């Protein structure tokens, strides 16, 4: 069915199988007819957004994130993918690498060497990340007491009293900031100066 340039192995093969199963559970192709029926709505015609929202809900099932948190037309798609990876704990932090069998000399954050490096720590709690977030919050005149963390960030809703447009812009700023912190972390980790 799929024509891959190179074969899928290991975790990727398993993830593809799970995705195919999820799609099969939400849509079916009626025998002899060329139309898809979207099971949750029961309609023969449907918009792709409703299917995408259902698949997002299935993929993010255990989390309390709304599907729309993964979409913001103000930023490039690769930042949305980064956010999705961060929310699913799929960024290659030291803890996640260790869980996947990659031997790491230390699980401590390579930047601060104070705490175990998780996604939350790398993007929000490390001293280096906190310094960036403090400057962003000050620039946007947002209270520094705001809880910037994986559960509250990337939504654009944690700045009350702002218009929908301003919240969307804030969400884009959160995504860009998180991505920039992660990219800077990688530059420092993989530079030859270590």
Sequence ranges of the domains in the chain: 1-59, 64-190
Q: Left (φ > 0), alpha (ψ -120 to 50) or beta: where does 52 sit?
A: alpha
Which pLDDT belongs to residue 67?
41
Residues 172 and 30: their CA atoms lie apart, in Å, by 41
Q: Write down the pLDDT at residue 158.
A: 56
CA dist., res. 80 & res. 20, Å (int): 22
CA–CA distance from 28 to each of 16, 25, 35, 48, 139 (Å)?
A: 18, 8, 9, 14, 50
What DSSP designation does 30 have? P
The pLDDT of residue 133 is: 86
User: What was the pLDDT predicted at 60?
Assistant: 58
pLDDT per 10-residue tile (average), the chain, 194 residues: 68 76 65 54 59 65 49 80 85 92 91 93 92 86 63 58 76 87 92 63
Q: What is the pLDDT of residue 149?
A: 62
| pLDDT of res. 144 | 62
Radius of gyration of the chain (CA): 20
């Amino acid at each position: 069915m799929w024509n891959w340039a190179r074969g899928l192995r290991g975790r990727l093969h398993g993830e593809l199988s799970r995705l195919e199963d999820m799609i099969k559970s939400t849509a079916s192709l009626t025998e002899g007819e060329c139309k898809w029926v979207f099971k949750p709505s029961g309609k023969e015609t449907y918009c792709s957004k409703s299917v995408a929202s259902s698949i997002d809900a299935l993929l993010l099932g255990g989390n309390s994130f709304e599907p729309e948190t993964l979409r913001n037309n103000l930023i490039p798609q690769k930042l949305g993918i980064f956010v999705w990876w961060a929310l699913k704990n799929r960024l290659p932090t030291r803890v996640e690498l260790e869980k996947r069998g990659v031997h790491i000399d230390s699980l401590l954050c390579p930047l601060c060497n104070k705490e175990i490096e998780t996604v939350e720590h790398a993007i929000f709690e490390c001293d280096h990340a906190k310094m960036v977030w403090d400057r962003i919050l000050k620039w946007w005149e947002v209270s520094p007491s705001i809880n910037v963390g994986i559960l509250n960030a990337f939504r654009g809703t944690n700045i009350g009293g702002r218009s929908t447009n301003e919240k969307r812009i804030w969400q884009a700023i959160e995504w860009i900031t998180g991505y920039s912190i992660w990219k800077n972390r990688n530059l420092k980790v993989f530079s030859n100066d270590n």
